[in-house]
Structure 1
Amino acid sequence: MVKGELLASRIPRMRASEIRELLKLLDQPDIISFAGGIPDPALFPAQAYRDAMAAALADDISGVALQYSLSDGYGPLRDWLAGEMAKIGISCGRENILITSGSQQALDYLGKLLLSPGDTALVGWPTYLGALGAFNAYEPRYDRLQPGENRPVADVAAAAEAAGGRVKFAYLSADFANPTGRTVDRAGREQVLDLAEALDIAVIEDAAYQALRYDGEAIPPILALELARRGDIEACRTIYCGSFSKTLAPGLRMGWVCAAQEVISRLVLLKQAADLHSPTINQIATHIVARDHFDSHVPKIREVYRRRRDLMLAALAREMPEGVEWVRPEGGMFVWLTLPEGMDGAMLLVQSLGSERVAFVPGHAFYADGSGRNSIRLSFTLHDKAMMDEGIARLGRLLRNSRPA
């Protein structure tokens, strides 16, 4: 048995994900879950993957699909991704792309690469729970990143120095953020770049939901805006993290990082030390499916999720009591609810599971300081109209019968 005194000092900062725990509820058939941000499995391109896996193994004389491979990733997949990045204003080559085991692995590597104990990470308030989980292991201090606020740069730097470190990066999901569903406008993205330049820090752009836009005009990614300023990706400080989990299938754990070669080369060293490379057969199959089906598949899932978002928003408008507010997302998978002051999302969840049998994620899990207790996150990706209406009706009944503490 490994005794507690043998554990590293970082271990107390590592906690179980509330979302991962809530996913266990999906096995209970009477639970209506708005908890996990889970793609609908009925929309997975399963047959395309069956065919792609067979193609990857067919006549594989050299055993490429089942063999050790480059840590950087499968070349044809990286080439395809470079082409996709060019479509959104990011001119790069395969040397600027690293394949990771999901974008979650990319966040872990970036925390390891950039953070020393006591350094400051600028994050949203709230922000993605998985990012906090990835960064926590490297013992950072957190400070607020709120595009649109005019907080003096000197104050941000001074607070970090007083805590015994320096600001290392700004992390944000600019499109349909998890958990709030909000999108940072172009002016806000430019402001983040100005802040990063003034502090001389990196920007980590989490683009997991970028392809899932349902309304409005697309806004250039932060990396595209910086590239327009600097003219060359090798001069950019923004690190773009992408994922196939929300567009093709999460179970294959396929993500990527796009950045200057200097950053990629250092991340490759971390990849070599961690798992050598992401599974080669998964990379080959994902390349085949992406190459042949991505452009036709993604519009289909956008249309389904757009309808389900609209169903949830309509149900909320009917069922929510006075004092409850929510965000209308232009894309993504989530609606963020702000409850009256004094309500506690975690306590409501306990009540809900006991009486209404509806699951959601308490909002405090997304705050680095544990605040935001009067908020909850709902996901709209899994349910048809009947289940959506029933689940939101139960949630409305719960809130009407609850009183602020």
Structure 2
Amino acid sequence: MDWQQVFATRMGRMKASEIRELLKLLDQPDIISFAGGIPDPALFPSDAFQRAFARIFAEGRAEAALQYSVSEGYLPLRQWLAGQMAALGVPCGAQNILITSGSQQALDYLGKLMLSPGDTALVGWPTYLGALGAFNAYEPRYDRLDPGANRSAADYANAATATGGRVKFAYTSADFANPTGRTLDRAARESLLDMADALDCAVIEDAAYQALRFDGDSVPPILALELARNGTIEDCRTLYCGSFSKTLAPGLRVGWVCGAAEVIGRLVLMKQAADLHSATLNQMVIAEVAGEMFDAHVTTIRAAYRERRDAMLAVLDREMPHGVDWTRPEGGMFVWLTLPEGADGAALLARSLQTEKVAFVPGSAFFADGSGGNTIRLSFSHSPPEVIERGIAALGRLLRGSLGG
């Protein structure tokens, strides 16, 4: 059978994730990988998870844990999350939260909810590759979101209208963004809200790394800033996507969306149609562990990742040749390198794997238009400082040979 004739047109927009392919390199013991933005499994609270699973089965809750459940998610977990959101300046109730299979599923649902073919999604240049992968299925047009640039809402609207759609949302990772590690300051967040008001579009706030601040002053979430303006979450256009993947464990695939109940209700319908509900047992275990030790565990991993961030920045300062610039993140998992114009991150990766056995992600994967060929993303989260030292020294050696200096 010629399968191409029955595939939907959206399949032409769906491509393999370069990051997911590079993660396969983690199985090769001779490769030092700065590719995957993944937590260190040595830091998982494994004992706490073991105790939580044991309690659930010992206390007569196994039937509920192994049974079908409501699509909205496990109520005690949603109630705990409502308390966490309130602490961030977002008072809300369980009805404002939907549990998803990681925040990646939330991005997929939000794209499905809002994008018709030809509509415009405003995204960073660069932006999270997984967001582009989620949105691509719904055939949008992308435009460059830059809250610091004085581009008018009318300009965005006219450009969207010219291609037969309208601006549906602005997507941003406001804290320690993947891939750049940058954080939007308060003024940029307020400016983004002003623009969204003028365009009458939604804001998708990807907060996957929000808890991983190492230093500097925290900035209120965009949703908290908007709620302060409007008085209630029901009058807010911002949808906050959170995840336990970077704090407790990614393998259980538990994330959430927080927003106006009207939107959450529509997302629940999508959840019902897609997978009925996220795994009940996983939600119950996350609720147990989060309630027992979330704040203490986050303090522990912040200290570990801060040490690794500092190690990477120190060796970059020492080893990188003239003409290479990089970000200095206050948290998260990533450092973003910009090489001189004309450099090719993909070609550099091929040489690096062959000669230095160091992996990273070429930056062009994070640009909706495929630009940014002279950029690369490094992740410091998975490697201890001594491995970071060896790997970045090797990368510096390669770059000095390739670029001079």
Report the TM-score when normalising by structure 1. Answer: 0.99
Q: CA RMSD in A?
A: 1.0
- Indicate the residue corresponding to 1:302 in structure 2: 302
CA distance in 2, matches of 1:136, 1:70: 29
Shift of 1:126: 0.2
CA distance in 2, matches of 1:61, 1:403: 61
Deviations 1:292-350 (A, max 9, x none): 01011100000000000000000000100000000000000000000011101001001
Compare 59-68 and 351-360 and name the one that shifted more.
Answer: 59-68
- Indicate the residue corresponding to 1:160 in structure 2: 160
| Counterpart residue type for residue 135 of structure 1 | F
The answer to whether residue 305 in structure 2 is matched with residue 277 in structure 1 is: no
Shift of 1:59: 3.9
CA distance in 1, matches of 2:244, 2:269: 23
- Indicate the residue corresponding to 1:360 in structure 2: 360
Trace 1:126-205 onto structure 2 (pairs within 5 A): 126-205=126-205
Shift of 1:261: 0.2
Deviations 1:340-399 (A, max 9, x none): 111010010011111111000000000000000000000001222221111011100111
| Counterpart residue type for residue 11 of structure 2 | I
CA distance in 2, matches of 1:130, 1:85: 24
CA distance in 1, matches of 2:206, 2:403: 37
Shift of 1:172: 0.1
- Indicate the residue corresponding to 1:256 in structure 2: 256
Shift of 1:62: 7.3
CA distance in 2, matches of 1:2, 1:39: 41
Shift of 1:15: 0.2
Contact 2:80–2:291 at 8 Å: present in 1 too? yes
CA distance in 1, matches of 2:228, 2:378: 36
| Counterpart residue type for residue 342 of structure 1 | G
Contact 2:321–2:403 at 8 Å: present in 1 too? no
Contact 2:98–2:258 at 8 Å: present in 1 too? yes
| Counterpart residue type for residue 18 of structure 2 | E
Distance 1:62 1:286, change over 3 A: closer
Shift of 1:58: 2.2
| Counterpart residue type for residue 7 of structure 1 | F
CA distance in 1, matches of 2:152, 2:97: 34
- Indicate the residue corresponding to 2:395 in structure 1: 395
Shift of 1:257: 0.3
Shift of 1:403: 4.0
Three-state SS of the structure 2 residue aligned to 1:381 is: coil
Trace 1:1-400 onto structure 2 (pairs within 5 A): 1=1, 3-60=3-60, 63-400=63-400
CA distance in 2, matches of 1:22, 1:387: 18
CA distance in 1, matches of 2:183, 2:152: 23
Deviations 1:270-298 (A, max 9, x none): 00000000000000000000000101110
Deviations 1:131-157 (A, max 9, x none): 000000000000011011110211110
| Counterpart residue type for residue 287 of structure 1 | A
CA distance in 1, matches of 2:121, 2:283: 31
Three-state SS of the structure 2 residue aligned to 1:121 is: strand
| Counterpart residue type for residue 205 of structure 2 | E
CA distance in 2, matches of 1:172, 1:302: 22
CA distance in 1, matches of 2:43, 2:292: 16
| Counterpart residue type for residue 186 of structure 1 | R
Three-state SS of the structure 2 residue aligned to 1:313 is: helix
CA distance in 1, matches of 2:111, 2:55: 37
Three-state SS of the structure 2 residue aligned to 1:241 is: strand
| Counterpart residue type for residue 303 of structure 2 | E
Shift of 1:37: 0.3
CA distance in 1, matches of 2:154, 2:62: 57
Shift of 1:167: 0.3
Distance 1:103 1:61, change over 3 A: closer
Shift of 1:401: 1.1
Contact 2:315–2:389 at 8 Å: present in 1 too? yes
Contact 2:363–2:373 at 8 Å: present in 1 too? yes
CA distance in 2, matches of 1:266, 1:305: 37
| Counterpart residue type for residue 366 of structure 1 | F
CA distance in 2, matches of 1:120, 1:273: 25
Shift of 1:61: 6.1
Three-state SS of the structure 1 residue aligned to 2:273 is: helix
CA distance in 2, matches of 1:385, 1:240: 33
Contact 2:45–2:248 at 8 Å: present in 1 too? yes
| Counterpart residue type for residue 76 of structure 2 | P
CA distance in 1, matches of 2:323, 2:61: 65
Identify unmatched segments of 5+ residues in structure 1: none
Distance 1:373 1:192, change over 3 A: same
CA distance in 1, matches of 2:198, 2:99: 30
Contact 2:307–2:385 at 8 Å: present in 1 too? no
Contact 2:207–2:240 at 8 Å: present in 1 too? yes
